[in-house]
Structures are given as C-alpha cells and as structure tokens.
Amino acid sequence: MEPKPAHKEKITKKRAAPGGEVVIHIKGLKKSFGDKEVLKNINLDVHKGENVVVLGRSGSGKSVTIQCVVGKLVPDEGELTVFGEEVAAMNEEELKSLRTRIGFLFQGAALYDSMTLRENMEFPLTRVLKIKDQEEIDRRVEEMLDGVGLLEAIDKMPADLSGGMRKRAGLARTLIVKPEIILYDEPTTGLDPMTSREISKLILQMQKKYKTTSIIITHDMDCARITADRVVIMHEGEYIAEGTFDELRNSDDELICSFF
C-alpha cells in the first residue's frame, strides 16, 4: 500500500464542503480493460446543483468514469449510485428510466447526421418523453434552439453547421428533455478559444437556468475556470486532488501544477 499523497490531504481540507443532496455517489470504483487497469480506486460524491469538473490527461479514465455513471460500462468493483440507486444492479428498463434523467453531451456532439436540426431535437421528445402533440413539440424545439442561438439553423443538416454550432446543438438536444444531471465529455475540444469560451459560458448559463447537476470532463483550463464549482484531478486512474479551481491552481504540488 502506497501512502496517500500529501497534496490530496491538504487540498481536500482546504475545500469548502459542498452541501445538498448527493445525487452521484462513487466509492472504490475499479474498471479494467484486459490487463489495463483504467480506474484504480475512484471516490466521488456529486451534490445536487453542483458543477464538478474532472481534469486529467488523455487515457486517465475520465470518460470511463462517466460511462459507468450512465450504465454504458459496468464497473469491476466498487459502489456507484445515482439518485440513490445502484447503477450496476439495474435491469434494462430501470436503466432506460435512469437515462431519461441524465443527459450526456458527447465530444463530437453526436448529432444524427441523416436528420435536420429540428428532427434531431424532436427525436428525444417523441421517443423518450413520448410527446405526441406537435404544437408542444414545436414550441419546445423552438424555445430550446432560441436559447442556444440556433433558431435560424433549425432546418439545416448537421453537416452544414460549424463546430461551435454543432456543440450548441448537441447541448440543446441534451437539455430538451430537461435532465437532472448532465455529463459533458470534453465539450470544448476542437474549438477555437473564443468559441470554447462561448460554449463554457453557455454551459454555465444553462446550468443556472435549468438547475442541473453536472460532471464536466475537460482538458480546457478556461472551461474549467468558468464552469467549475469544484475541480477533481485524475491521474492514472485515480483522483489525486480536489478543490476549487483557484485552490488547485495555486497549489505548490508539482504534479497538480502541471495540469494548469
């Protein structure tokens, strides 16, 4: 057993304890792919209404963690509960029901490329929320697209949208079902600094408007600074530090500083 790193203790003590109900509880989470141990021992509580940013190098297991949260991957060991329910113990119907309460924004936005933006937005409304009233669907789609500044592009195909527009459209499609939790997988990757900042501000704005709880996986320091209530740093499958953005940035630990 290696001793716990000193920086972890110090920074955890400094951090103001977040309040509110715990909506995501992760304890001792482990996940391996073949011989490669991707998650070694993950412990994290995410509170209602909180924005937690997970920083880490590529391959450190950040995306695997949120894929376990949404039930896409099954952990090898550990406890993972969402809204108090153990995700690994859920059957198909329970998992489907959970997923209607969780939004997931993919790195590439994952817009359905054979559908227009309007049809992309309508898809979760008709298939997940089972809304039949076309007027209600139109109202929700237009309101959401207006919120992300894409109302004029409503009949465009995803291929006709720029990178930033695609991210905004992906965010709108995620938010249209009004999820309680949103998991962002590198929401600003591949965007120029100005568009990245716009997306980060939009994430924050939407979080305040819809009062969602978020886990944001990112490498983008600007995004972390704008959106984070709390930052967790992940290194080689373990969380090595957590605190506010400023606390971690001003840390005297060399490893933590290397992320900023």
Rounded Cα distance, 30 and 40, in Å: 5
Beta-carbon count within 10 A of 211 CB: 11
Q: Cα(126)–Cα(13) distance, rounded to whole angstroms?
A: 47
Question: In a 3-state reduction of DSSP, which class is residue 155?
Answer: coil
**133 φ/ψ angles, rounded to the nearest 5 degrees:** -70, 115
**Candidates 24-32, 54-62, 104-112, 149-157; binding stretch for another protein (CB under 8 A):** 104-112
Shortest Cβ 16–another protein spacing (Å): 32
Among 9, 97, 146, 246, binds another protein (CB under 8 A): 97
Cα torsion 108, 114, 119, 121 to 10°: value is: -10
Output DSSP code: residue 17: P
Helices 193-210 + 163-175 axis angle, to 10: 10
Give min distance, CB of 145 to another protein, in A: 17
At 85, is the secondary structure helix, strand, or coil?
Answer: strand
Size of the site for another protein (CB under 8 A): 23
Binding window for another protein (CB under 8 A); candidates: 21-29, 119-127, 138-146, 250-258: 119-127
Q: Smaller CB distance to another protein: residue 67 or 244? A: 67
Contacting range for another protein; rule: CB under 8 A; set: 91-99, 143-151, 197-205, 221-229: 91-99
128 binds another protein (CB under 8 A): yes
Nearer to another protein, 19 or 114 (CB): 114
Binding test (CB under 8 A) with another protein, winner from 30, 43, 106, 253:
106
Closer CB to another protein, 46 or 102, in the complex:
102
Regarding 184 and contact with another protein (CB under 8 A), the answer is no
Residue 71, C-beta contacts closer than 8 angstroms, at least 6 positions apart: 87, 88, 90, 95, 98, 99
- Contacting range for another protein; rule: CB under 8 A; set: 29-37, 93-101, 206-214, 232-240: 93-101
Q: Is 100 in the site for another protein (CB under 8 A)?
A: yes
Taken in order 130, 136, 142, 144, the sign of the CA dihedral is: negative
Q: Which of 200, 178, 161 is nearest to 102 (CA)?
A: 178
Q: Which residues contact 150 (CB under 8 A, 6 or more apart)?
A: 117, 165, 168, 169, 172
With binding defined as CB under 8 A, does residue 112 bind another protein? Answer: yes
Q: Does 99 bind another protein (CB under 8 A)?
A: yes
Listed ranges 17-25, 43-51, 124-132, 140-148: which one lies at the site for another protein (CB under 8 A): 124-132
User: Could you tell me the smallest distance in angstroms from the CB atom of residue 102 to another protein?
Assistant: 8
> Rounded to whole angstroms, how far apart are CA atoms 90 and 128?
18
- C-beta of 82: minimal distance to another protein in Å? 13
State the residues that interact with another protein by CB under 8 A: 70, 72, 96-97, 99-100, 102-104, 106-108, 110-114, 123-124, 127-128, 174, 177
